[in-house]
Amino acid sequence: MTQPLSADQPIPFMPGPKPSTKDYQGLDDWRSLSADQQPDWAQHPEFERVMGELNTVPPLVFAGEVDTLKRRLAEVAEGRAFLLQGGDCAETFEGATADRISARVKTLLQMAAVLTYGASMPVVKMGRMAGQFSKPRSSNDETRGDVTLPSFRGEMVNGFDFTAESRAHNPERMLRGYHTSASTLNLIRAFTGGGFADLRHVHSWNMGFASNPAHARYEKLAKEIDRAVKFMAACGADFDALSTTELFTGHEALVLDYERALTRIDSRTHRPYGTSGHFLWIGERTRGIDDAHVDLLSRLQNPIGVKLGPKTTGEDALRLIDKLDPNREPGRLTFITRMGAKSIREALPPVVQAVQDSGAKVVWVTDPMHGNTVSTPSGFKTRNFDDVIDEINGFFEVHRAIGSHPGGIHVEMTGDDVAECLGGADAIEEAHFADRYESLCDPRLNHMQSLEVAFLVSSYLSGEQS
C-alpha cells in the first residue's frame, strides 16, 4: 500500500499556505478496512513510482467547480431542477477521440434540450466521462476453455485481450487513465465554453439519423426552440447565458489507490476534495457502511452518489445518510436506484419513505440500466429497451405516489450508432450485434435510444404522462 502524503509534499491545487498534517487526518483510515474490488498490484515494481507521480500531478477538477455542482444538486434535491447523467459503461483509452467525445457531448446536449424545453426546468448535465475507466466484476477470474485469467476490470486496471500479459493488473495504467481524463476534460471545456453548446445552435447537434422517429421529433422541438429564441431576440433579450453551458463529470470511485492519490487540500478551506472528478459515486457492491469506499468518500467535500440495488432497506439508506451526509446538506448525497424493472415498484417505496420520513434532502436518481442486464443465446450481454423504459416508469410512479421529487436519470449511453440494447423505435435486433456491438463491458443505449428516453422523461416532468 502507498504511504500517506506528508505535510511537506507539494500539493499543486490552489495558491495558498501548504496543507498541514492535520488536513490529512483520517484520509488513510480506509487502508485498514475491508476494500472489495481492488486491483492486485501492490507488489508491481512500478507501483511506488506511479503512486508518487499521481500524488503530485495537477488536479483534474477544482474545488470551486465541485462546490458549484453541489449547489446545482441542492436545487435538484429541493425539487427545482433535474439531473441528467450519461456516458460510457467503461471508457477506453482509444475511444477518447475528439469525434467520439463530441458525439457523446452532443447527445447529452440534445437530451438536456428536450428535458429543459419540455419540462420548463433547469437540467444539471453530467457526463459519465473523464474517469470511468474501472469496473467492478462479479468474479475475479474469467475462464475460456481450459485457460483461467483475471477478469477485465477496465482499462485503468488491465487490458481486455484474453492473454496473461494483458490481464495482469498494471498500476502504470492509472497514469494513462489520468492523462486520458485530462485530455477529455480539456475537450469538454472547449466544447461547453467555446460556443459548441450555444442553444442557438440546437439544430447543429442533430447527427443525421433523420429517418429515426426520435430524430424527427427532436428536429421539430429544435424548430420550436428556434422560434422562441428569435422571439426573445426581437424583444431585445441578452443571450450571453445561452452561449455556454455547464457540463460536470463523474465516475465510480472504485480504485481507491487512484482516488486517494488525487485527493487535494483546498487552500481556501483546508478541506479535502477528490479532484479526479466533480461527482464520485460508490457502487452497489462496495457500499458496506464500515468498508473502505464509504470511509474515504465520507471525508471528501465532493457531492457523493451511492448505487442502491433491490435488496436495499430503509435502514441501509438512513445509515448511509448518517455516514456520508451527517450535516444533512442538500446536494451532498445522491441515491442512484438500480433495482430492475421487475423489482422497482416493490423495492423502492419503503426506501424512499424512510428517507422522506427522516427529513433528509437527498437527490433521487434512477439508473434503469444495471438491474436489467440479460445475456443472449449467442453470448452477448444486452438490455431490452422496454425494460429500461419500464424501470423509468416505475421510478416516477413511486416518487409521485410518495410525494418525493424524482430528481434525475443515470444512463449508460453513447453518441454512436451502436447496436447493444435490444428494441427502441428504430428497433435493434440481436442480428445487429455482430457488426455494431462495441462495448467492452456492459451494453449502452445508442444515440437514438437515448433521445427516446429523454422524450419519455420530459413527458413525465411536464405532466403529460402520469
- List, as residue ranges, the binding site for Mn(2+): 89, 370, 412, 442
Q: Which amino acid is located at 154 in the chain?
A: G
3-state secondary structure of 202: helix
- 146-151 CB contacts, 8 Å cutoff, 24+ apart: 150/40
Strand partners, 248: 126
3-state secondary structure of 333: strand
* Neighbour tally for 437: CB within 10 Å: 17
CA 40 – CA 308 distance, rounded (Å): 26
CA 304 – CA 306 distance, rounded (Å): 7
Judge contact between 105 and 413, C-beta under 8 A.
no
Q: What residues are designated binding site for phosphoenolpyruvate?
A: 128, 284-285, 307, 338
CA 422 – CA 328 distance, rounded (Å): 41
Q: Which amino acid is located at 29 in the chain?
A: D
Residues across the chain: 466
CA 342 – CA 325 distance, rounded (Å): 30
CA 424 – CA 356 distance, rounded (Å): 34
Q: What residues are designated binding site?
A: 89, 128, 284-285, 307, 338, 370, 412, 442
* Residue-wise DSSP of 335-353: EEE---TTTHHHHHHHHHH
